[in-house]
């Protein structure tokens, strides 16, 4: 059984995890994830949000944030990471593909208030062996 | 102590004393009771019990016990000492000193008591007791130093030098052992600074050379050395010193100034000769290359460089500050979001650069306008380059994205300071869109809106900034200030309470005070002022703790003396001036419009109003009283936390009168309170024009009541005359001065010829002085206008005086005002112009037209704020918020909703009330939205009736059914209106219910 992040201070919201990115003291981006249990009992990571303010994109901030989460999950021996992306968000899809994510599913009418309302599920599976960068 | 007791009780007594010192009051009380069981009349125990109770908030019992104890044992120094302590805790220092003196008479060698007088600022007493202490225990160095400090404070420098020398004489050659080297060094430095103070510079220098090895604080040593060298004229020596200091700290402006002095390139007023300018430039060039990291070396030249060179230097100085590219890595905080935004170095760039414009102007290189223009162009240039290429002009490497945001931020502040609020808002909005996570952007937007006259929106943005960092006290008090300005008192108090815990709320309080003072919340304001005064007392209290700490042998004599000097200057501090001036204004307003009549008026209004409006008023009243209650609770809270924290043992009486109504009654009809503050101001800041203006205004009010007593009256006239004279000396051309001068002589000329001797005396002086002024007051007035053709404030003052002198010339006076033109000083052509008129001036003129000339017609013609119209067109939300808030009783905002809804069309502004719900994102079913909808329909049926020409008639209608409430002062209403669109004075009466 992999344990939740060792640094987590509060037991109640143990399955939540968030990081903010600062660019010369300005908060410009963040990533938020949560831990979920598979039917089989294994743990996977769901990336709820990942965002960087528009003017600060293309500086590698998003990559750093995502890598941070990937590293942590690797350390925890978590083998699956997944997220939802709106089907027309090509930038995001190319971004995630760079990190080894693949489209594994399409959900119709996932979003209630934006068009198109469909989304892809992007997932990344890693081998059980912990990766070292 | 406790000698007359048997052994066991004597030990118990020691327990009392100990537990008093360690603050274990309950234990002490128990011990005291144990003794008193056997010896119910033992004086010292009674006294100690009283002292302990005093610390447990049982004041009256404490006094009773201590007095009884004293009665039982008059010969005991303990009892007297305790009595003194008791008085001290209540800040009755005079009584306390008496008690201490008595205690000393009985036991002249008691060291504990001897330490008392310094704390009371009884200087001669201090010297005496210190001498006694020294003779008692000459082997303690503390006592030597203490005696020296006492003499120093008693302005007997040479004596204290003697003492220190005598002390040194008692020491062995190898004196300072390793563990006391620092203390000894401090003593030596203290002695040197004493020598310097006495003017014995040579000796000081000699001493320094001799003792250099023994002084541990090398930095202080060098600073002292440098300053003495400069005073002695040993400039080369000084230069060497300052250069070595710069190696230690190359960002201390004092060192740069010192160095400039040494090489003869310094002048007090910044006027540097053309020839010297070049060498000064060269000096800083070399310094810059030497200390590449020093920002001071780059900043200082901006104060003296001319024209093109200034531009270049500013460019170089500004770029790295805008960039500030550090990639601070992630703040990892598992489980929840955590944002910390610092107020980083860049926001201060504007406040850093703006004084350099004035210094430049002063040094005569060029005017403020050109300096500002250069900077404006510079920043616009940077902005356009950043926008198009993402890098600074002339460079290829990309700047970080935040640079553009900071540049926009600077430009917003810049345009704001030039009165071009519309451009400022556009810039700040763009910056916010660019990076919405920077707090400073929001608070600055709030400030811009405030200057543009839209207080409600300003408060909203200040609140937004506050919620972005709840732990920031500055943001909190800033938000409170904005809320008070927007008349959201209840909200403001709620917000303020978040940060008021202990007694330490200096800045907080002050901002609150100012806001209150500005807005006539007299009862609130007065009590705030009082607590402000209290704060000053607290500081005095705090210094007592420091006294004993300093003298207890910490050897901080230099810091100690400078602290005492700071204390003495406390009352001349700018903030105190502000607060005191505000207090006096409050008192004067009280004097002019006592509360009683205000409430009566309100009652009368009530009877006239129709039922629906009555309900509205009632609601707003309730709102007010609930906020009053809250304030009381708050006060209770404060006192309870104070006693809990145990930080301040002497419990203060709870402010039972948080809204100062009692105070109001007391001071009503008298101006004593104001006089008290005025005296403080006069003795401490006689250089300030405001002091004298206040003195004039106050005394003019007084003289009416004193007319019956010719002797006092003529004395008072003389005082007023002095104030006027002082004013003229300080700034002859100030419009307020001019007002006072004319008013004064006009008043005088109305009185009959002198009868009594004293009157004759005063008259003679006045007559002599009058010769200096122009032949007649009218001519003086003419001359004044002639001198200041282009200034609105000056013209207004002159017009007002013309009306005072010759009421028949009212039309002419109004013409003077209306002829003023708001010149748009063209600057660079590219991006607009600077408006010379300030919003405050315009409002003052408006008020003048309305209240002094009582000419609503002219007032309604008075349009000044085209700016405001632009603000509104960008911020339609604000108007809607105003209307919405007017329906919210908890805000105590007595604006009649129906009347407020008429506002836009009455002002010929194109805002559509029915758009409000969508702007405010209200759900269409909410009651708020309903108001707007109904009003929108209502308005559309009656449009086209209100044009500019019909304003007089609507004004008369307005006076019929409204006005009279003192809640919103005219100037706020004027500001609100000026924000909504072009100013229509008559409507502004309508706003008040």
CA–CA separation, B270 and B274 (whole Å): 12
Is residue B723 within 8 Å of residue B690, measured between CB atoms?
no
**Any CB–CB contact under 8 A between A20 and chain B?**
yes
Label residues B398-417 b or e (16+ Cβ within 10 Å = b). Answer: ebbbbbbbbbbbbbbbbbbb
- CA atoms within a 13 Å half-sphere pointing along the CA-CB vector of B481: 21
Position with higher pLDDT, B509 vs B292 = B292
**pLDDT score, position B330:** 34
The DSSP code sequence of chain A is: -PPPPTT---STTTTEEEEEEEETTEEEEEEEEEEEE-TTS-EEEEEEEEEE-GGGTTSSHHHHHHHHHHHHHHHTT--EEEEEEETT-HHHHHHHHHTT-EEEEEETT--SSSSS--EEEEEEE--SSPP--
At residue B594, φ and ψ (nearest 5 deg) are -60, 150
Structure tokens at B902: 């008429």
Interchain pair B337, A21: CB under 8 A: no
Is residue B143 within 8 Å of residue B130, measured between CB atoms?
yes
pLDDT tier, B901 (very low <50, low <70, confident <90, very high otherwise): very low
Q: Which residues of A touch B334 (CB under 8 A)?
A: 5, 7-9, 16-18
Segments of B641-794 assigned E as strands: none
pLDDT tier, B197 (very low <50, low <70, confident <90, very high otherwise): confident
CA angle B854, B857, B859 (to 5 degrees): 70
Residue B619: exposure state from Cβ atoms within 10 A (0-12, 13-18, ≥19): middle
Position with higher pLDDT, B226 vs B303 = B226
- From the candidates A23, A56, A84, A111, give the one annotated as an active-site residue: A84
Is residue B336 within 8 Å of residue A8, measured between CB atoms?
no
Distance from CA of A9 to the nearest CA of B (A): 7
Q: Are strands A102-107 and A80-86 parallel, antiparallel or unpaired?
A: unpaired
**Any CB–CB contact under 8 A between A32 and chain B?**
yes
* Residue B827 pLDDT exceeds 80: no
CA–CA separation, B302 and B371 (whole Å): 10
**pLDDT score, position B595:** 41
Q: If interface means Cβ-Cβ distance under 8 Å, which residues of chain B face chain A?
A: 324-342, 344, 400-402, 404-405, 434-438
* Residue A60 pLDDT exceeds 80: yes
Interchain CB contacts (distance < 8 Å): A and B: 88
CA–CA separation, B989 and B974 (whole Å): 9
Of residues B682, B797, B777, B691, the one with CA closest to residue B734: B797
**Poorest-confidence range of B84-88, B249-253, B373-377?**
B84-88
Helices B557-569 and B181-198: crossing angle in degrees, nearest 10, is 50
Chain B contact probe: residue of A27, A33, A71 with most B CBs at under 10 A: A27
**Any CB–CB contact under 8 A between A13 and chain B?**
yes
Distance from CA of A49 to the nearest CA of B (A): 12
Inter-CA distances, B360 with B282, B368, B374, B834, B836, Å: 19, 7, 12, 19, 20
pLDDT tier, B341 (very low <50, low <70, confident <90, very high otherwise): very low
CA angle B671, B675, B680 (to 5 degrees): 160
**Any CB–CB contact under 8 A between A44 and chain B?**
no
Distance from CA of B876 to the nearest CA of A (A): 27
**pLDDT score, position A101:** 93
pLDDT tier, B428 (very low <50, low <70, confident <90, very high otherwise): very high
**pLDDT score, position B505:** 42
Best-predicted range by mean pLDDT among A43-52, B726-735, B916-925?
A43-52
Closest residue on chain B to A66 (Cα): B330
Q: Please, which residues have CB within 8 angstroms of residue B321's CB and are 6 or more apart in sequence?
A: B295, B345, B346, B349
SS3 B824: strand
* Residue B403 pLDDT exceeds 80: yes
What distance lies between CA B117 and its chain's CA centroid?
32
Model confidence over B833-883: pLDDT tens digits?
344 455 556 666 666 666 666 665 665 555 544 444 433 443 333 333 333
Average pLDDT, chain B: 63
Distance from CA of A13 to the nearest CA of B (A): 6
Q: Please, which residues have CB within 8 angstroms of residue A106's CB and are 6 or more apart in sequence?
A: A87, A118, A119, A120, A121
Best-predicted range by mean pLDDT among B2-11, B61-70, B111-120?
B61-70
Strand partners, A121: A84, A105
Interchain pair A26, B325: CB under 8 A: no
The DSSP call for residue B948 is G
The percent of residues above 70 in pLDDT, for chain B, comes to 44
Q: Which of A24, A55, A64 is closest, CB to CB, to B434?
A: A55
Closest residue on chain A to B406 (Cα): A26
Best-predicted range by mean pLDDT among B117-126, B247-256, B798-807?
B247-256
In chain B the first and final C-alpha atoms are separated, in Å, by 70
**Any CB–CB contact under 8 A between A19 and chain B?**
yes
* Residue B238 pLDDT exceeds 50: yes
**pLDDT score, position A47:** 94
H or E, element range at B461: helix B455-468
SS3 B727: helix
* Residue B911 pLDDT exceeds 50: no
Determine if the pTM surpasses 0.90: no
**pLDDT score, position B986:** 29
Is residue B71 within 8 Å of residue B93, measured between CB atoms?
no
Distance from CA of B436 to the nearest CA of A (A): 8
Q: Which residues of A touch B405 (CB under 8 A)?
A: 55
**Poorest-confidence range of A88-92, B8-12, B100-104, B772-776?**
B772-776
Interchain pair B339, A56: CB under 8 A: no
Strand partners, A44: A36, A80
Q: Are strands A119-125 and A102-107 parallel, antiparallel or unpaired?
A: antiparallel
**pLDDT score, position B713:** 65
CA–CA separation, B131 and B137 (whole Å): 10
**Any CB–CB contact under 8 A between A21 and chain B?**
yes
Is residue B738 within 8 Å of residue B799, measured between CB atoms?
no
Position with higher pLDDT, B282 vs B725 = B282
**Any CB–CB contact under 8 A between A10 and chain B?**
yes
**pLDDT score, position A48:** 92
Interchain pair A22, B344: CB under 8 A: no
Interchain pair B438, A23: CB under 8 A: no
Position with higher pLDDT, B512 vs B385 = B385
Interchain pair B335, A8: CB under 8 A: yes
Model confidence over B763-789: pLDDT tens digits?
666 666 666 665 566 777 777 777 666
Chain A contact probe: residue of B320, B335, B342 with most A CBs at under 10 A: B335
Judged by phi (left if over 0) then psi (alpha if -120 to 50, else beta), residue B438 lies in beta
Q: Which of A9, A30, A53 is closest, CB to CB, to B334?
A: A9
Chain B contact probe: residue of A23, A49, A63 with most B CBs at under 10 A: A23
Interchain pair B336, A16: CB under 8 A: yes
In chain A the first and final C-alpha atoms are separated, in Å, by 23
CA–CA separation, B607 and B771 (whole Å): 56
User: CB neighbours (10 Å) of residue B990?
Assistant: 26
Structure tokens at B157: 């420098």
SS3 B992: strand
Position with higher pLDDT, B461 vs A40 = B461
Interchain pair B334, A27: CB under 8 A: no
Model confidence over B618-642: pLDDT tens digits?
333 333 333 333 333 333 333 333 3
Of residues B879, A51, B450, B327, the one with CA closest to residue B465: B450
Mean of the pLDDT values across residues A40-49? 88
* Residue B991 pLDDT exceeds 70: no
Model confidence over B641-695: pLDDT tens digits?
333 333 333 333 333 333 344 444 444 344 555 666 666 666 656 666 667 777 7
Of residues B400, B445, B391, B426, the one with CA closest to residue A26: B400
Is residue B829 within 8 Å of residue B807, measured between CB atoms?
no
Which residue shows structure tokens 């320094």? B208
A68 is catalytic: no
Cis before A116? omega within 30: yes
Label residues B766-781 b or e (16+ Cβ within 10 Å = b). Answer: beeeeeeeeeebbebb
Structure tokens at B111: 């060291």
């Amino acid at each position: 059984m992999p344990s939740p992040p060792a640094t987590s201070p509060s037991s109640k919201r143990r399955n939540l995890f968030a990081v903010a990115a600062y660019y010369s003291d300005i908060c410009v981006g963040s990533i938020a994830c949560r831990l979920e249990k598979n039917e089989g009992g294994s743990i996977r990571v769901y990336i709820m949000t990942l965002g960087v303010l528009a003017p600060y994109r293309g500086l590698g901030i998003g990559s750093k944030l995502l890598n941070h989460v990937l590293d942590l999950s690797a350390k925890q021996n978590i083998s699956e990471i997944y997220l939802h992306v709106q089907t027309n968000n090509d930038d995001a899809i190319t971004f995630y593909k760079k990190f080894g994510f693949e489209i594994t599913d399409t959900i119709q009418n996932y979003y209630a208030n934006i068009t198109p309302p469909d989304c892809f599920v992007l997932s990344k599976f890693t081998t059980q062996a912990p990766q070292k960068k | 102590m406790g000698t007359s007791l048997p052994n066991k009780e004597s030990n118990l007594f020691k327990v009392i004393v100990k537990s008093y010192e360690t603050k274990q009051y309950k234990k002490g009380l128990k011990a005291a009771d144990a003794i008193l069981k056997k010896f119910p009349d033992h004086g010292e125990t009674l006294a100690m019990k009283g002292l302990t109770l005093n610390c447990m908030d049982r004041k009256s019992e404490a006094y009773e016990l201590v007095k009884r104890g004293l009665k039982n044992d008059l010969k005991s120094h303990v009892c007297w000492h305790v009595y003194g302590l008791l008085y001290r805790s209540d800040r009755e220092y005079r009584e306390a000193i008496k008690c201490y003196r008595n205690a000393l008479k009985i036991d002249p060698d008691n060291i504990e008591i001897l330490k008392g007088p310094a704390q009371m600022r009884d200087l001669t007493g201090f010297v005496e007791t210190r001498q006694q202490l020294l003779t008692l225990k000459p082997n303690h160095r503390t006592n030597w130093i203490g005696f020296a400090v006492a003499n120093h404070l008693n302005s007997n420098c040479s004596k204290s030098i003697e003492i220190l020398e005598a002390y040194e004489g008692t020491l062995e050659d190898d004196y300072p052992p390793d563990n006391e080297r620092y203390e000894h060094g401090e003593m030596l430095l203290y002695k040197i600074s004493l020598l310097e103070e006495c003017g014995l510079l040579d000796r000081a220098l000699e001493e320094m050379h001799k003792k250099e090895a023994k002084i541990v604080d090398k930095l202080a040593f060098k600073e002292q050395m440098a300053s003495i060298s400069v005073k002695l004229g040993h400039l080369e020596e000084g230069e060497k010193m300052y250069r070595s200091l710069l190696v230690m700290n190359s960002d201390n402006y004092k060192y740069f100034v010192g160095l400039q002095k040494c090489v003869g390139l310094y002048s007090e007023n910044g006027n540097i000769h053309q020839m010297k300018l070049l060498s000064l430039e060269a000096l800083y060039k070399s310094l810059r290359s030497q200390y590449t990291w020093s920002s001071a070396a780059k900043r200082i030249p901006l104060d003296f460089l001319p024209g093109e060179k200034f531009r270049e230097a500013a460019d170089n100085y500004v770029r790295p500050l805008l960039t500030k590219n550090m990639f601070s890595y992630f703040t990892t905080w598992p489980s929840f979001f955590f944002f910390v935004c610092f107020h980083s170095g860049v926001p201060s760039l504007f406040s850093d650069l703006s004084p350099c414009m004035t210094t430049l102007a002063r040094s005569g290189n060029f005017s403020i306008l050109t300096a500002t223009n250069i900077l404006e162009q510079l920043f616009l240039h940077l902005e356009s380059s950043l926008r198009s290429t993402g890098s600074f002009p002339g460079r290829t490497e990309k700047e970080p994205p935040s640079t553009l945001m900071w540049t926009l931020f600077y430009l917003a502040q810049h345009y704001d300071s030039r009165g071009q609020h519309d451009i400022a808002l556009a810039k700040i909005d763009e910056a916010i869109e660019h990076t919405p996570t920077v707090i400073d952007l929001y608070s600055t937007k709030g400030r811009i809106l405030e200057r543009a006259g839209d207080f409600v929106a300003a408060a909203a943005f200040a609140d937004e900034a506050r919620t972005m960092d709840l732990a920031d006290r500055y943001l909190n008090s800033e938000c409170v200030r904005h809320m008070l300005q927007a008349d959201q008192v209840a909200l403001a108090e709620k917000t303020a309470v978040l940060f008021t815990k202990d007694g330490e709320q200096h800045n907080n309080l002050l901002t609150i005070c100012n806001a209150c003072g500005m807005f006539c919340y007299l009862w609130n304001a007065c009590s705030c002022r009082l607590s402000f005064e209290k704060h000053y007392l607290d500081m005095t209290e705090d210094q007592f703790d420091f006294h004993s700490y300093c003298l207890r042998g910490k050897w901080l004599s230099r810091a100690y003396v400078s602290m005492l000097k700071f204390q003495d200057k406390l009352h001349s501090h700018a903030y105190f001036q502000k607060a005191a001036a505000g207090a006096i204004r409050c008192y004067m307003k009280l004097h002019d419009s006592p509360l009683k009549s205000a409430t009566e008026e309100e009652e009368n209004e009530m009877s006239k109003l129709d039922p629906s409006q009555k309900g509205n008023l009632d609601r707003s009243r309730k709102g007010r009283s609930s906020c009053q209650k809250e304030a009381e609770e708050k006060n209770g809270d404060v006192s309870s936390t104070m006693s809990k924290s145990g930080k301040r043992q002497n419990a203060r009486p709870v402010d039972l009168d948080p809204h100062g109504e009692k105070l109001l009654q007391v001071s009503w009809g008298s101006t004593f309170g104001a006089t008290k503050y005025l005296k403080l101001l006069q003795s401490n800041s006689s250089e300030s024009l405001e002091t004298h203006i206040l003195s004039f205004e106050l005394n003019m009010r007084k003289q009416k009541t004193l007319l019956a007593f010719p002797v006092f009256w003529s004395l008072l006239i003389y005082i007023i005359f002095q104030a006027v004279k002082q004013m003229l000396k300080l700034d002859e051309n100030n419009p307020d001065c001019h007002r006072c001068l004319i008013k004064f002589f006009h008043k005088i000329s109305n009185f009959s010829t002198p009868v009594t001797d004293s009157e004759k005396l005063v008259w003679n002086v006045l007559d002599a002085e009058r010769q200096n002024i122009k032949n007649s007051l009218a001519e003086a007035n003419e001359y004044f206008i002639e001198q200041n053709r282009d200034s609105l404030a000056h013209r207004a003052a002159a017009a007002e005086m013309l009306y005072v002198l010759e009421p028949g010339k009212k039309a002419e006076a109004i013409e003077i005002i209306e002829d003023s033109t708001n010149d748009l000083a063209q600057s660079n052509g590219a991006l607009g112009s600077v408006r010379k008129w300030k919003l405050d001036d315009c409002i003052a003129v408006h008020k003048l037209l309305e209240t002094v000339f009582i000419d609503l017609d002219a007032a309604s013609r008075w349009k000044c704020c085209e700016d405001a119209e632009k603000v509104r067109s960008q911020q339609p939300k604000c108007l809607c918020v105003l209307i919405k808030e007017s329906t919210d009783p908890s805000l105590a905002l007595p604006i009649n909703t129906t009347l407020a809804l008429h506002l836009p069309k009455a002002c010929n502004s194109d805002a559509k009330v029915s758009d409000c719900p969508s702007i405010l994102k209200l759900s269409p079913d909410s009651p708020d939205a309903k108001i707007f909808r109904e009003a929108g329909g209502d308005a559309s049926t009656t449009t086209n009736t209100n044009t500019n020409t019909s304003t007089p008639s609507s004004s008369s209608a307005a006076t019929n059914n409204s006005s009279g409430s003192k809640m919103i002062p005219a100037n706020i209403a004027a500001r609100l209106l000026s924000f909504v669109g072009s100013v229509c004075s008559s409507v502004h009466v309508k706003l008040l219910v």
